[in-house]
Structure 1
Amino acid sequence: MGHDDDLPTLELAFPGPERDRGVAAILSGEKTALTGLLEIYEHAREALPTAGQRFSVLDSAGRAAVTIELLEVRVVAMKEIDDDFARAEGRGYADAAQWRTAHEEFFRSEGVSDFLGHTPDIGDDTLVVAQRFRVSDAATANAAGPQ
């Protein structure tokens, strides 16, 4: 097994409160799913993640906070996301409608638009990369001494 430093990294949203809440939700076990916009992967020329892959999730300071293992990766239209998946995102969404509103807002945000070079057109058929994961291990190297 490789050392955790060798793992590909995963960054949730942008550094700041949104990322911090996401990392905390993974550590607490509330967050077991995440969604990416397929267009971002294509623009970055990044291969899509696959089930079984492990990632080191970074905090806002760029430090490894937790290691996750992907259990399932699906490319689906936004309209296919159901309430169960929305709740698994661990952001307090009551249902898929709340998930959709938040993700449409994020995918159209300035940060995403700057990265893509345009504001993406988001609708029912927009393809997203829906991922379910489990915590593989917390990044013990950064733990603040004995618990």
Structure 2
Amino acid sequence: MWPRINGLRTLDLGTVGELRAWLNSLVLSGAKTATAGVLEGDYRAEGEEPEVPGERLVLIDSDEAGIAEVEVTSVDIVPFASVTWEFAQAEGEGYTSLAHWRDVHLEYWKSVGQAVEDTTDIVCVHFRLVGTMSQN
């Protein structure tokens, strides 16, 4: 199961360290309004269901501290080969094409031990930043 903060599921983008800090900065700036996960590896393996529209999540940093709250605006589960360019752009990570998005994601998922093929179900989550959390 994913950690909870104040009863809300957490959203941990990328891997701990520089990647997570960069992705979080994109969310905080408003550039990143979407993220993708592997249905089997990121959800079912953790005993979690995909997010639902209206659900609020706590964005966490590399120390698992909450830094912001986001609200899910839409969720689509599609085969990897069917992820759209519009979704890739909403991830806000500077992809130059859908092929570039695919290559980066395949490499990332491979690096964390997840095999992804064209038919692998991907959870495409759109969200909006609700607000930031004070850091002690």
Task: Calculate the TM-score normalised by the size of structure 1.
Answer: 0.83
Identity %: 33
Counterparts of 2:131 and 2:84, CA distance in 1: 28
| 8 Å CA contact retained: 1:83, 1:94 | no
Counterparts of 2:46 and 2:128, CA distance in 1: 25
Cα deviation, residue 5, structure 1? 2.6
Counterparts of 2:68 and 2:96, CA distance in 1: 26
- Secondary structure of the 2:6 match is helix
Root mean square deviation of aligned Cα: 1.4
Q: Given the alignment of the two structures, is residue 125 of structure 1 paired with residue 119 of structure 2, yes or no?
A: yes
Cα deviation, residue 67, structure 1? 0.5
Q: Give the aligned residue type for 2:82.
A: E
Larger relative strand fraction? 2
Match of 2:23 in 1: 22
| 8 Å CA contact retained: 1:84, 1:95 | no
- TM-superposition CA deviations, 1:37-59 (whole Å, max 9, x none): 11121111211111110000001
Q: How many matched pairs?
A: 131
Unaligned runs of 5+ residues in structure 2 are none
Q: Larger radius of gyration, structure 1 or 2?
A: 1
Match of 1:76 in 2: 78
- TM-superposition CA deviations, 1:82-130 (whole Å, max 9, x none): 2211111011112211111111111111xx32xxxxx52x221111000
Cα deviation, residue 81, structure 1? 1.4
- Secondary structure of the 2:130 match is strand
Match of 1:102 in 2: 104
Larger relative helix fraction? 1
Unaligned runs of 5+ residues in structure 1 are 114-118
